[in-house]
Copies of this chain bind each other. A is one copy, B any other.
Amino acid sequence: MSPPARFDLAGWSAAHQVLVEQALAHWISVPGIANATAAPPAALIETMRYAVLDGGKRLRPLLVLAAAEAANAGDPALTPSPSDESTLRAACAVELIHAYSLVHDDMPCMDNDVLRRGKPTVHVKFGEAGALLAGDALQALAFELLTPDEALVPALRQARLCRLLARASGCAGMAGGQAIDLASVGLALNERQLREMHQLKTGALLQASVMMGAACGTLSPAAERALARFGEALGLAFQVVDDILDVTADSATLGKTAGKDADQNKPTYVSVLGLAPAQAHAQALLAQALGALKDSGLPDTRALQGLAEMVLSRTH
């Protein structure tokens, strides 16, 4: 089976982004949060919605959905519709973790940033206590989304999705990477140390996005390992490009403050390797990612491939 030559990534992304936005808007709401005891307070929900809705490229949810489609593409009977309950929940759960990390990262005691996606950051708009609590509640909501009634998502899949997300978020994942980042200001890291930091800080959650999508499908162990390698290379490539953009783009294009890494004396791929070698490194990582996709043997990985290429060519 040979896929048609042309794949409309922009159309695919737009259609799937709409589904993700709708699902997030539904689930981060008083009726969307199922609980017998009591309704959640409106002010907290409003803060959570501000932190998540109407913003972001939704790269992580798109990776979940693309991986789920790739994992099922061999068997049309198994192919989930884009609105498949498991994959949409997984996609939104990853985005909630990403969103909470941005809210906490922007706080005065961390990066002290006032601008995010072109809007005032959450603590600027709702106060520090509101930002702290909204971030905490977003993390919990991610795991709540992954554990609905078992008629909606099989228990075995719920357990696997929670496992992947918890590991990628915690001290051996995103939070651990942020702790290293915090401790590395002003230090001269070498490339290996920089890679380890970013594998935790950014890479773990991007890789988990791919693996959570895969967990919504049916894959051979070999194909699963290949997708894990794809996710790892993509995660690193994303961070190298992020470091490049921090130097080459302006704040208006980024939707956040540009040049912050250099101002804060943080080690980056550009400061460690130089600009041109960093760009070459990003290309090499893309090649690795695409090679892993090919190794997976999956019949249709065009959405994953398109997302990887987009990560490299993005301007913000």
A interface, CB within 8 angstroms of B: 33-35, 37-41, 43-45, 48, 100-101, 104, 107, 109-110, 127-130, 132-133, 135-137, 139-141, 143-144, 146-148, 150, 155-156, 158-160, 162-163, 165-167, 169-173, 175-176, 178-180, 182-183, 196, 199-200, 204
Instruction: State in angstroms the CA–CA spacing of A33 and B200 once bound together.
Output: 14
* Chain A interface main SS type: helix
- Considering the complex, give the chain B residue whose CB is closest to the CB of A196: B38
Closest to A44 in B: B179
Bound CA–CA A162/B308 (angstroms): 32
Query: Which of A107, A130, A170, A199 counts the most B-chain CB atoms under 10 A from its CB?
Result: A170
B44 touches A133 (CB 8 A): no
Chain B residues contacting A175 (CB-CB under 8 Å) are 44, 133, 136-137, 140
Between A48, A133, A141, the greatest number of chain B beta carbons within 10 A of the residue's beta carbon is seen for A133
A166–B107 alpha-carbon span in the complex (Å): 24
Instruction: Tell me how far the C-beta of A245 lies from the nearest C-beta in chain B, rounded to whole angstroms.
Output: 24
Contacting residues, chain B, for A109 (C-beta < 8 A): 127-129, 132
Q: Can you give 23 contacting A-B residue pairs, CB < 8 Å?
A: A34-B172, A37-B199, A40-B171, A40-B172, A41-B179, A43-B179, A104-B133, A107-B132, A109-B128, A129-B182, A130-B182, A133-B179, A136-B136, A137-B170, A139-B139, A140-B173, A144-B167, A147-B166, A150-B159, A156-B156, A158-B159, A158-B162, A158-B163
Count copies of this chain in the complex. Answer: 2
Report B-chain residues with C-beta under 8 Å of the C-beta of A170: 33, 40, 137, 140-141, 144
Q: Complex Cα distance A55/B283, Å?
A: 50
In the complex, besides A109-B132, A139-B139, A144-B170, 9 extra interface pairs with C-beta distance below 8 angstroms are A34-B167, A37-B173, A38-B172, A43-B183, A48-B171, A133-B179, A133-B182, A136-B175, A155-B155
**Which one of B40, B143, B176 contacts A165 once the chains associate, using CB atoms below 8 Å?**
B143
Roughly how many angstroms separate A158 CA and B40 CA in the complex, as a whole number?
25
How near does chain B come to A260, taking the closest CB pair, in angstroms?
16
Give, as a whole number of angstroms, the nearest-CB distance from A228 to chain B.
Answer: 9
Do A136 and B133 touch (CB < 8 A)? no
- Taking a contact as CB atoms closer than 8 A, the residue among B133, B147, B167, B179 that contacts A35 in the complex is B167
Cross-interface CB contact of A144 among B104, B163, B182, cutoff 8 Å: B163
Which residues of the other chain, B, contact A147 by a CB distance below 8 angstroms?
159-160, 162-163, 166
Q: What are the residues of chain B within 8 A of A158 when measuring CB–CB?
A: 155, 158-159, 162-163
